[in-house]
Amino acid sequence: MYGEYSEPFSYRDDRIEISVEPEGASFLYRRVCDGRVVEKIIADEFNLTINPVEPFHLPEKISRFLEISFRPVILKPGSKKSIYLTFPLEIGVLLGKGTSYDLLDIFSLSATKYSLYGTPDAGQITRWHECQGFDSVPATDNRYEGVLYLTMENQSSGFIEVSRAILSDYGMQIWYGDNVSLTCSMKIFSHSTAETFIINRPLNPGMKSSIPLYVALKIPVVQRKGHFMEHGLS
Amino acid sequence: MITDNIQEILDAILTGKDVNIVGSVTGADILFFIFSLVVAFVVATIAGFYIKRKFTHRLKKDTLKFFTRVVQVIIFIIALGIAVPSFLDISITILLIGIAGALVVMALSSQNVISNFVGGIALHYERPVSSGDYISIQDISGVVEGVKMFSTIVKTTSGVFVRIPNNQVYSGTVTNYYANVARRYEYDLGIRYQDDIGKAIELVRMALEEYTYILKNPAPDIFVSDIDANSVRIKFRVWFPASWANTRDDISLYTGILPRIKLALEKEGIELPYAQAVLHFADSTLKVQNRGV
């Protein structure tokens, strides 16, 4: 399903139907997902990209932080550990080419749940996702979930238990191919503080980079180094 | 005669002649006075532009607007303080006496205006409310559109704009629902005495879990709050993202949750109770149970 299209096409599986078909001098974009139908007329020739995008826009934009909750991992002082997690996806349908894109459609098969990281007065609302944590690349359905490769580094002087990672939407670069992937690192400073970074690197060679939705929506982004987690790691 | 005099004064001003118009004030003086006010206006505009550019990312929109206006007014007052004694043959002492007199008159006649202005400054300093917050004040609930110089504008959930004087906002009781990122709501319902309480609580928990906007953490609190005349009361407290809950009125939050819980319970045979009364007769041969009202 993911890829670039400039000719009429159709895709169908058990839950999604997407097609662009000629209709007179124009084209009809049609998407059916779980019974919900979206139809739009594309007036001219088109370049259409379907790719996974950051999971922050549906059902409405409430949070810009992704919280991944996983089985606790204990790290000794100075140690480093990489694990594979999963993260939810939204599917963006974008019109355009090169550096100019517009959002045509967005939908998701993943159920959305929100959570509070920290306290009501000083915390952050997060898009919450739970997964186990794996030592090898887990089998995922790339319509629902992507694989998050997280490297944790304990820079503190004590044993630290980690069971969640909070990632900011700033510069969230997703890659797609056989899998959908995201690569991150976490520097742990203490039991309650850490910093997470999104690394612009695919999980496997040959993967294509997704067009982030903030590019399509033309949202100016202040590039930050990382996201500081200050309300605990477990 | 009067028109001749006005024409003469205008000619003197426009040509800048060294002719006395009022007392020792010449046309050139009036030209310079007007010019200095224009310069003050330009300086105030540039200052406003500079402040907006410099602080636009550090201050909220309405606070920035308020302080820009205050700085511009101060620049204009300073310009008047310099221009009036310099060009209009009014000594600084007389000017100060005039200003003091004007202030006294203003203070006496416009107490409300001044108290609203001071209230506006206090609101911007203490920030109990700011633009975009969902608040309740007196009987008004809505989103703050802006804290202006003399009043606070609130847009109610029914789309009506309400202007509240700043001194009332500052001195009154204000509930700000937007100050925190999450809000807690409380619901309760009753089940029959014969229903399994543990099962009912689990069903409520599962139904809440499926609802997108109920936060995973803090987890919902679900407990038996009372055993009343007709039912076992189950209370549950849930948290919503404030940015979502504040855009909805309380009715829609209730209608979104309670029918869902009712359906989940009824599907598993747990019913909401009727009012009931058990009558005992002295000879104990007849027992009537009234189910339903």
Selection from A111-115, B155-159, B171-175 with the highest mean pLDDT: A111-115
By percentage, how much of chain B surpasses pLDDT 70?
A: 84
B149 and B168 housed in the same domain: yes
Structure tokens at B289: 């149970």
pLDDT of residue B126: 78
Which pLDDT belongs to residue B201?
93
Quote ipTM for the complex. 0.87
Q: Which residues of chain B neighbour A120 with C-beta distances below 8 Å?
A: 180-184, 239, 242
**Does residue B186 belong to any structural domain of this protein?**
yes
| CB distance A165 to A196 below 8 Å | yes
* Minimal CA separation from B194 to chain A, in Å: 34
| pLDDT computed for residue B284 by the predictor | 60
Distance CA B252, CA A53 (A): 31
Q: B14 and B98 in one domain?
A: yes
To the nearest whole Å, the CA of A146 is away from the closest chain B CA by 20
Contact between chains at B213 and A128 (C-beta distance less than 8 A): no
Greater confidence (B16 vs B95) lies with B95
Q: Is residue B99's pLDDT more than 70?
A: yes
Residue A75 pLDDT > 90: yes
Q: What is the pLDDT of residue B70?
A: 83
Per-residue model confidence (pLDDT) at position B13: 62
**Residue B232 falls inside a structural domain:** yes
Determine the average pLDDT of the residues in B110-135. Answer: 80
Contacts of B244 in chain A (CB under 8 A): 60, 62
C-alpha gyration radius of chain A: 19
Structure tokens at B219: 């987890």
Give a yes or no: residue A87 inside a domain. yes
Q: What number is the average pLDDT over the span A151-162?
A: 94
Q: Nearest-CA distance from B240 to chain A in Å?
A: 9
Measured in whole angstroms, the distance separating CA B98 from the mean position of its chain's CA atoms is 37
What is the percent of chain A where pLDDT is above 90?
A: 55
Do residue B25 and residue B86 come from a single domain?
Answer: yes
A234 falls within a domain: no
DSSP letter for each residue of B13-49:
HHHT-S-EEETTEEHHHHHHHHHHHHHHHHHHHHHHH
Of how many residues is chain A composed?
A: 234
Q: Which residue of A has its CA nearest to B212?
A: A113
* B170 in contact with A, Cβ within 8 Å: no
pLDDT digits (tens, 9 = 90+) for B39-62: 988 998 888 888 887 787 677 777
**R_g of chain B, CA atoms, integer Å:** 34
User: Using CB atoms within 10 A of its CB, is residue B188 exposed (0-12), middle (13-18) or buried (19+)?
Assistant: middle
Q: What is the domain count for chain B?
A: 3
Instruction: Indicate the pTM of the whole model.
Output: 0.72
Nearest Cβ partner for B181 among A59, A111, A123: A123
Question: Touching check for B55 and chain A: CB below 8 Å?
Answer: no
Residues B149 and B206 in one domain: no
Q: Do A114 and B212 touch (CB under 8 A)?
A: yes
Please give the single-letter amino acid code of residue A43.
A
Q: Which of B179, B181, B213 sits opposite A124 (nearest CB)?
A: B181
Residues B29 and B47 in one domain: yes
Task: Point out the residue among B179, B217, B243 whose CB comes nearest to the CB of A115.
Answer: B217
Q: Is residue B169 part of a domain?
A: yes
Residue B237 to chain A, least CA–CA distance (Å): 15
Report the pLDDT averaged over residues B103-121: 77
Give the Cα separation of B200 and B265 in Å (integer): 7
In whole angstroms, what is the distance from residue B66 CA to residue B124 CA?
8
Contacting residues of A for B239, CB less than 8 Å apart: 116, 120
| The total number of structural domains that make up chain A | 1
Note the maximum CA span of chain A: 69
CB B241 within 8 A of CB B213: yes
A101-140 pLDDT per residue, tens? 888 999 999 889 999 999 988 899 999 999 988 999 999 9
CB B264 within 8 A of CB B206: yes
Q: Which of B178, B210, B217, B246 to mutate to test the interface with A (most CBs of A within 10 A)?
A: B217
Element (DSSP H or E) covering residue B87:
helix B61-87
Q: Return the percentage of chain B with pLDDT > 90, whole number.
A: 14
When mean pLDDT is compared across A93-102, B17-26, B37-46, the lowest value belongs to B17-26
Same structural domain for residues B58 and B146?
Answer: no
B215 to chain A: which residues are within 8 Å by CB? 114-116, 125
Residue type, B51: I
Question: Are B103 and B52 part of one and the same domain?
Answer: yes
In a domain? residue B197: yes
Confidence of residue B292 (pLDDT cuts 50, 70, 90): low
Q: Which residues of B touch A56 (CB under 8 A)?
A: none
Q: Is the pLDDT of residue B2 over 60?
A: no
Find the CATH number of the domain harbouring B236: 3.30.70.100
- Inspect the interface and report whether the beta carbons of A114 and B180 lie closer than 8 Å: no
Both B133 and B209 in one domain: the answer is no
Query: Considering the domain boundaries, does residue B248 fall inside one?
Result: yes
* pLDDT at residue B15, rounded to an integer: 66
Is residue B287 situated within a structural domain? no
Q: How confident is the model at residue B288 (pLDDT cuts 50, 70, 90)?
A: low
Q: Which residues of A touch B180 (CB under 8 A)?
A: 120-121
H helix count then E strand count, chain A:
1, 19
Residue A139 belongs to what domain range? Answer: 3-229
pLDDT exceeds cutoff 90 at B16: no
In a domain, B209, yes or no: yes
User: Is residue B186 located within the same domain as residue B172?
Assistant: no
| Residues B15 and B103 occupy one common structural domain | yes
Q: In this structure, are residues A89 and A52 in contact, taking their beta carbons and an 8 Å threshold?
A: yes
Which residues, 6+ apart, have CB-to-CB distance to B279 below 8 Å? Answer: B287, B288, B289, B290
Q: Does B263 lie in the same domain as B212?
A: yes
Cβ contact, residue pair A114, B213, below 8 Å:
yes
DSSP state of A134: B
Per-residue pLDDT, A121: 86
3-state helix, strand, coil in chain B (%, to 5): 50, 25, 25
Mean pLDDT of A53-77: 92
Residue of A172, A200, A197 lying closest to A56 (CA atoms): A172
- Interface of A to B at Cβ within 8 Å reads 59-60, 62-63, 111-117, 120-121, 123-125, 128
pLDDT score of B255 more than 60: yes
Residues of A in Cβ contact (< 8 Å) with B179? 121
Q: What's the pLDDT at B6?
A: 65
Is residue B291 over pLDDT 70? no
Please tell me whether residue A39 adopts helix, strand or coil conformation: strand
pLDDT 10s digits, B213-246: 999 999 999 999 988 888 899 999 999 998 888 7
> Could you tell me which residues come within 8 angstroms of residue B1 by beta carbon, excluding any fewer than 6 positions away?
none
Contact yes or no for A128 and B241 at CB 8 A = no
* A33 belongs to a structural domain: yes
Tell me which chain A residue has its CA closest to the CA of residue B182.
A120
Residue B249 confidence (pLDDT) = 64
Answer yes or no: do B72 and B150 share one domain. no
How close is the nearest chain A Cα to the Cα of B56, in Å? 15
Q: Which domain holds residue B69?
A: 6-109
CA dihedral of residues B117, B121, B126, B132 (deg, nearest 10): 80
Stretch B105-122: mean pLDDT? 77
